[in-house]
Amino acid sequence: MLSDAQFTNLLQRTRNGDQEAARKLVAEYEPEIRRAARLRLTDPKLRRIVDSIDICQSVFGRFFRSAAEGAFDLERPEQLLVLLTTMTRNRVIDEHRRQTTAKRAGMEASEVVTPEQLIDENPGPRSAAVARELLEAIRSRMSSDELAIADRRTCGESWDEIAAEFHDSAENLRKRLERALKRVREEMDGNAEADA
């Protein structure tokens, strides 16, 4: 755990746009936040759509944006851990509500989340840079066909339209993209654990 002085220094540098300070904060707190997310992601259906790295990236994105705006008055590292853990819990609850609402509205519970949907909406400059890096990391692990499918879904094409282009069934293509995103998540989880 960081000392109070180290923490204050890193937080101030992060607020001033220092990317290295932000990376150090992420490295310090990411394992705990991912663990907190895994403990709360108990619904198997929800875990197929979102995992701990998705939650963690979203939480850090929101934290950095709000911190840059001076929203938090934190003095000790423990305070940040409590804040990030609370944000993680709320993010999992929000995602669960979103999926439940979608299910009630008649959408498929297994609707694929595209790479772009993993990124926090309306990011600030620092979180936008992190989001671009994350998106590039996701895209670099996908094949050209997988990217083509994901890009068409992102552009709003229906599964039937994509199926006609690929001369395959909509269900096969949906499952193919779902497997690709799962594979990418597992690769990124493995890399994050290896770096920890």
Q: How much is the pLDDT for 126?
A: 54
* Residue 78 predicted with pLDDT over 80: yes
Separation CA 29–CA 160 (nearest Å): 43
Nearest to 62 by CA among 88, 94, 39: 88
Q: How much is the pLDDT for 119?
A: 46
* Residue 173 predicted with pLDDT over 80: yes
Structure tokens at 118: 């993993």
- Confidence tier at 86 by pLDDT (50, 70, 90): very high
Q: How much is the pLDDT for 41?
A: 86
Q: How much is the pLDDT for 127?
A: 53
Q: How much is the pLDDT for 29?
A: 92
* Residue 177 predicted with pLDDT over 50: yes
Q: What is the arithmetic mean of pLDDT over 132-142? A: 77
Each residue of 20-72: pLDDT tens digit?
988 999 999 999 999 998 888 888 877 778 888 888 888 998 898 888 877 77
* Residue 101 predicted with pLDDT over 80: no
